[in-house]
Structures are given as structure tokens and as C-alpha cells.
Structure 1
Amino acid sequence: MKQLTSTEWIAHFLASDPPRSKSLVMTIFGDAVAPHGGTVWLGSLIELLAPFGVNDRLLRTSVSRLAQDGWLVANRDRRRSSYSILPQALPRFERANRRIYAPLEVHWDGQWTLLLSAGGAIEAPLRAALRKELLWEGYAQMSPGVFGHPAGDAEALRDMLVRLGAEGKLFVCSARALPQVPGRPLPELVGEGWDLSEVIAGYQQFIDQFEPLLALKDSGLPPEQAFVIRTLLIHAYRRVQLHDPMLPVELLPDPWPGARAYELARTLYRAICGAAEEHVVAAMRREDPDAPLADAAFFQRFGGLD
């Protein structure tokens, strides 16, 4: 098969798997805007979204909806508008970033995090919201009223319960198997609690889409193309990885395609990051000459950037 040029690869990707504009704006805020202070003028945002085929009208609709959803806040300065990450949303951006850019090295210490609710103690709307958020955080429903995870993030769990107004309404505890009492094999529990087939397929699709770019990573991409590819890379990886329940490596199938997908994302991101940053800074400084360079945390992504 003929090796595509970077221009051809971008055109093919946007035609075959176009990202939704609202989700794409979220990716750009998390990957490109947050490291530069978390605020961007609308004109700069329009410039950053233009190569993806997102026009002015569609962008305004997307940021307006994200503001309504509690992710962004609009700021006015005479006739100009800027958008910032809402302070209350920062912890969620930071948790997502830890998952996206950190190595998949969650190891199991034998502990389970369990959440238990008594039958009618929680009203139906809150129960539905809790179920949705817990599944998003990778928890499995073990039985009616019981959710569990072998590597639960206590900080993320606490923040989620506070945000939903469910603090103090569930029993939250840690547990481990009793070695002197025989039980079912653990892989059976994992297999019943988590259907990993879609996550595996998602990681494999990501690998198939982005592996051809390895041949181009040292070719000196123009800044705008590097930014587009970096954004599509994180957008596609985030879409799969945020549905990964992040089980400890000891409980995953071997080989686990998520590890290969992470190494691919890491290799490509590190190769094109510098050129992509040139485009981000140039776009932001066309509207704000004092827009800051990326912060120190940015350079810790994927184990360290040049």
C-alpha cells in the first residue's frame, strides 16, 4: 500500500472519521489551551479549529454548549470574547490528563474499592447519575447496589460524590479476598464485571489509524500540520482511553493492546510536539501578544517532552 503524505493522511482521516466539533473543542482546550493559561481569545480558537473544517458558527455553538455544561466560561472585553476553563472543571481536566498522558502502569495490591447503597436510600435521579459516573470512572456493577473497582482512585471518587451531592449517602470501603476461604477464580469476576471487547477493538483501531504516521515522524512537519496531527492523535486516543476501566495490569489480557497504543501515542506526540507548539503559540499571540508559553507540567507529558 502506498505511503500517504501527511497532507493525504489528514484529509483521509477527516473524511473517514471526522471528530464532532464539541468534543474536538474539549480536546483542544485540554491538550493545547490548558498548558497556556487555560484562556483563549475566540479569534485564536477560530484559527486553531479552521484546519478541521469547523467554521465560526459551529465553533460558537460548541463553546456555548460547553459553557452551559459547566466546562467553560465566556469573558467579554468590549467587542472581543475569550473562553476559559471554568475553575470548578479544572480537577476533571487534570484527572483526564493524568489518565491520557501517564503510563499504563496501574498495579494491583489485592485491594478492592467497593460502594454499597441500601435499597431505597438514594432517590432514582441521583442513583442514575451515580451509575453513569461510576461506569465512566471504570467501576463495575457487581450486583444490585454494589459497585467495585480493583484500583479505584480515592480522590476522583470523592470529587465525584461531592459534585453529585452524594457525599455520605453510600457506604465506601476497601476489601480484599480472605486467603483461608476458597473462592471463584479472579479472572471470572473480571470477565463478568468488565466487557473489554469494545476497548480492545478501540485500541486496535487507533493503532491501525496512526501507525502509518511513524514513517513521517522525522520528516519535519509544518507547524500547522503537526498541530492537526497532534490534536487528532490525542482526540482519538482520549476517545478510547477514557472508556478503558484502567484495571491493574495483573488483571488484563496479555498482550494488552492499550500498552501498544500508549507507546504509539507517546512516540508520535514527542516527535511532533515542538512544531505543534509553534502553531499554538503563534495562533494565541495573534490575539494576545502576552499569551504565555506552555507551563512546566506540559513537559512532563508522556514521561517527558523535549
Structure 2
Amino acid sequence: MPAFPALETLVDNFRNRRPIRAGSLIITVYGDAIAPRGGTVWLGSMIKLLEPLGLNQRLVRTSVFRLAKENWLVAEQVGRRSYYSLTGPGIRRFQKAFKRVYADQNPEWDGRWLMAILSQLEQDERQKLRQELEWHGFGTLSPTVLLHPQMQKSELQAVLQEYDYTDDVIIFEDMGEGSTATRPLRLQTRESWNLPKLAESYQSFLDKFRPIWNHINDKGIPTPEQCFQIRTLLIHEYRRIILRDPELPDELLPGDWAGSAARQLCTNIYQRVWQGAEQHMDAVLETAEGPLPPPNNKFYKRYGGLN
């Protein structure tokens, strides 16, 4: 393959992570690449696909088995080959999470705040639900009060229903008073969501992937295999950050918010490498019927429309 120092550094840094968290990378590959193309692949071809990223056969097999136990994947045996597909719950999790990953901009804010009061839960249950809501982007106003500027009430109710806390959590929805981004509100936002830490994560993402973008601009589109490596690590890194980002309204963010630059960089790189990555997967991945089917229509709507 043509020399690509920035990509070699990116791949080496990923390989040298300890622990490498192969299961998380496999989730990225399924969500980004396999789900829109039928959702099923032969395990042997997945092993071949991921080997250049430092995941050996044993690590991939162990991680896939674990994902199956966690109800992300389900196996089907055809002869001596194992084919892994997304489960129904796995598909729903992917759709919910990756919808945010591929948005080309933050949703507009209507001034609404959604508040969850957890004071009626036992301490252990409260901590468990706090962690889940924080994963969904809620900020902490106090130990028992969390708030979110974007989530719909129905979405919160679905989370509570999943954990059987529907009758134990108080929900308030404010429809307008928060629309003015006053100085106290901006300061409170900074505290409730630890924006400096999130900004550091976005800056680290920019530092890793700007050299990739510069190389593509200078040298042109890389090989299909390099495109796949770039796209996979790009979405893997971005997904880990964006799912911790509450997607606060621009009115409540610093003027030099690194998340905006990170979203644009991710969009720009993805637009340049997605086709090459698809070509590489066509050459490597297999289903029980043969090659992967083409991507579905939703795939082409990512980042405002793939060219």
C-alpha cells in the first residue's frame, strides 16, 4: 500500500491500547458498515477484515461470543461456518446511538428543558439510573436532579420503562423559560456537564484526525483498505465522544466549542473515504449467500447525504 504515515500512527496507537476493547470496535463495524448491508457476515471474513487493526482470530472470536451473550448478536451455523447477525434489540440500540453519530449538525433548541427527579429511588437504584441517564446526555443539577435540553419526554419514559422505574421518577418539562441563555445558565451548564473534559476529548479527536485529512487533501483518496481503516477508526473514536455529548444548544456552548470542528472534520473525512471502504468490504466480507448486499437507502443519508 502507498505510504500513509498519519494512518500508520493512528493504527499503531489503536493496536497499542490496553485493553484493546475489541468488542467495542466490532460494535462500531457492525453499526457503521454491516448493519446497512443486511446485518449478517461470516465470522471468518470478519476476522480477516479486522486483523490489520490488531485484532487476532482468538480476540475476535472471544469478543463476538461475548456480544452474543449480551444479546447484541445471534449466530447461525451453516455447515462448518458461523454467521453472525444483529438481534432485534441490537438493531434498536444501533439505530438509537448511530442516529446521533451521523447527524450533520446539532438539532435546534426550542428552549425546552426535561428534568428527572430521582429522590424516590433507593440509593443503589438511583446510582444505576443516574449512570444510564448521563450516558443519554443528562447533566447533574444536584445528586437527585438531572436535566436535558433536547430529549423528548417519550424517550425518557422509554428508558424508565426499560428499567422498571416508570412509577418512581418525577418528570418535569419546562417549555420556554430556559430559552434565554443567561450568564448564570451558561455557568450552570458548564458545571452540570463538565464541558471542559468533553472539550478535551474533542480536541484529542481533532489532533488525531487532522493529519489524516491533510494527507487526503494533499495525496488524494487512499487505497480501499486504507479507506476502511480510516473510516472504522474515525467512527469508533467519534462515537465514543458523541454518545457522551448532550448536544447542548449553541447558545449554551463556548464560542470556540471544539465539538463543532470535530463534527465537521468527521463529516469531511467520511465523505472522502466511505466509497473506498465499501469496496474493501465487498472484497473481504461474506454472507451465506455470497457477497454483501448493497447498502440500504438510509445509509446514503448520513452526514446530510453521501456523494
Question: TM-score under structure 2 normalisation?
Answer: 0.89
Task: Give the letter for the 1:56 counterpart.
Answer: Q
Distance 2:177 2:268 in 1: 42
CA distance change for structure 1 residues 65 and 155 in 2, over 3 Å: closer, same or farther? Answer: farther
Contact 1:214 / 1:268 at 8 angstroms: preserved in 2?
A: yes
- Distance of aligned partners of 1:123 and 1:190 in 2 relative to their CA distance in 1, 3 Å threshold: same
1-side partners of 2:177 and 2:6: how far apart?
Answer: 53
Return the letter of the residue paired with 2:25: L
CA drift at 1:67: 1.8
Is it true that 1:161 corresponds to 2:160 in the alignment? yes
Distance of 2:196 and 2:261 partners within structure 1:
16
Corresponding letter in the other structure for 2:160: L
Letter in 1 for 2:35: A
- What corresponds to 2:134 in structure 1? 135
- 2:79 counterpart of 1:82: no
The farther-off stretch of 184-193 and 19-28 is 184-193
Q: How many angstroms apart in 1 are the aligned matches of 2:189 and 2:59?
A: 42
- CA distance 1:132–1:205, shift in 2 (3 Å): same
Pair 1:178–1:249, CA change in 2 (3 A): closer
Partner of 2:114: 113
* Aligned pairs for 1:61-100 within 5 A: 61-100=62-101
Equivalent residue, structure 2, for 1:10: 7
1:36 aligns with 2:37: yes
- Corresponding residue of 2:146: 147
The 3-state SS of whatever aligns with 1:168 is coil
Structure 2 SS opposite 1:138: coil
Cα distance in 2 between the residues matched to 1:291 and 1:35: 10
The root-mean-square deviation of aligned C-alpha atoms, in Å, is 2.2
Q: Which moved more, 1:106-115 or 1:26-35?
A: 106-115
Structure 2 counterparts to residues 249-260 of structure 1, below 5 A? 249-260=250-261
Matched position secondary structure for 2:285: helix
Q: Percent identity?
A: 39
Shift in CA distance, 184/32, structure 1 to aligned 2, threshold 3 Å: closer
Asked whether the 8 Å contact 2:106–2:247 carries over to 1, the reply is no
Residues 164-195 of structure 1: CA deviation (Å, up to 9, x unaligned) = 2222321222015659xxx9821122122111
Change (3 A) 1:233 1:184: closer
Q: Bigger CA drift: 268-277 or 188-197?
A: 188-197
* More deviation, 185-194/20-29: 185-194
Give the TM-score normalised by structure 1.
Answer: 0.90
Change (3 A) 1:137 1:234: same
CA contact (8 A) 2:83 2:288 kept: no
Aligned residues: 297
- Alpha carbons of 1:304 and 1:177: their partners in 2 closer, same or farther (altered >3 Å)? closer
Which residue does the alignment assign to 2:172? 173
Structure 1 unaligned runs (5+)?
none
Amino acid corresponding to residue 128 of structure 2 in structure 1: A
List structure 1 segments (4+ residues) > 6 angstroms apart after TM superposition: none
Alignment partners' CA distance in 1, 2:38 and 2:288 = 14
Q: Deviation per CA, 1:31-67, whole angstroms, max 9, x where unpaired?
A: 1111111111101211211111211100011111212
Instruction: State the secondary structure of the residue aligned to 2:240.
Output: helix
Secondary structure of the residue aligned to 1:151 is: coil
Paired with 1:184 and 1:203, the residues of 2 have a C-alpha distance of 24
Secondary structure, in 3 states, of the residue corresponding to 1:185? Answer: helix
Give the superposition deviation at 1:287: 5.8
* AA partner of residue 224 (structure 2): P
User: 1-side partners of 2:171 and 2:204: how far apart?
Assistant: 36
Q: How far apart, CA to CA, are the structure 1 residues paired with 2:286 and 2:221? A: 23
Shift in CA distance, 54/178, structure 1 to aligned 2, threshold 3 Å: closer
Map residues 206-245 of structure 1 onto 2, 5 A cutoff.
Answer: 206-217=205-216, 219-245=220-246
1:280-299 aligned at under 5 Å gives the runs 280-285=281-286, 288-299=289-300
Instruction: Give unmatched runs, 5+ long, in structure 2.
Output: none
Asked if the contact 1:108–1:151 (Cα under 8 Å) also holds between the matched residues in 2, the reply is: yes
| Alignment correspondent of 2:304 | 303
Q: 2-side partners of 1:191 and 1:286: how far apart? A: 48
Checking the alignment, whether the CA contact within 8 Å between 1:138 and 1:243 is kept in structure 2 is: yes
Q: Which amino acid aligns with 2:6?
A: W
In structure 2, relative to structure 1, the CA distance for the partners of 1:266 and 1:56 (3 Å cut) is same
What is the alpha-carbon distance in structure 1 between the residues aligned to residue 280 and residue 158 of structure 2?
35
